[in-house]
Amino acid sequence: DTGVSQDPRHKITKRGQNVTFRCDPISEHNRLYWYRQTLGQGPEFLTYFQNEAQLEKSRLLSDRFSAERPKGSFSTLEIQRTEQGDSAMYLCASSLAGGGVNEQYFGPGTRLTVT
């Protein structure tokens, strides 16, 4: 257990439905990242926050995806009008910025299946 939690762990939804995932980072970590991992591939960066500010979004993050981190604590990732291609593992990670190099601590992931 890295101290990063994600909820739910598994989500099955029908195409066209909206889903929301939650990530609770390690409490003193000010950076929070979202990645997506499809079967047999490495994770791909989606977006990251420093405190409550969303500083970068990947072009993978279409306008159906939105992420928030109110008050710089937990974060949510919402996918609207889900498509079968959204089926993947969604991973959250947190780190402590400052002082240069830092490692990221990953949560267990939320596995999304869109039917």
Partner 1 sequence: SQQGEEDPQALSIQEGENATMNCSYKTSINNLQWYRQNSGRGLVHLILIRSNEREKHSGRLRVTLDTSKKSSSLLITASRAADTASYFCATVLMIKAAGNKLTFGGGTRVLVKP
SS3 content of the chain, % helix, strand, coil (to 5): 5, 50, 45
Using CB under 8 A as the criterion, which residues of the chain lie in contact with partner 1 when the complex forms? 2, 4, 31, 33, 35, 40-45, 48, 50, 55-56, 89, 91, 93, 95, 97, 101-109, 111
Give the Cα separation of 85 and 14 in Å (integer). Answer: 12
Give whichever of 81 and 97 is closer to partner 1, judged by the CB atom. Answer: 97
Q: How far is the CB of 44 from partner 1 (least distance, A)?
A: 7
Residue 41 DSSP code: S
Strand, helix or coil at 70? helix
Give whichever of 18 and 102 is closer to partner 1, judged by the CB atom. Answer: 102
Give whichever of 33 and 65 is closer to partner 1, judged by the CB atom. Answer: 33
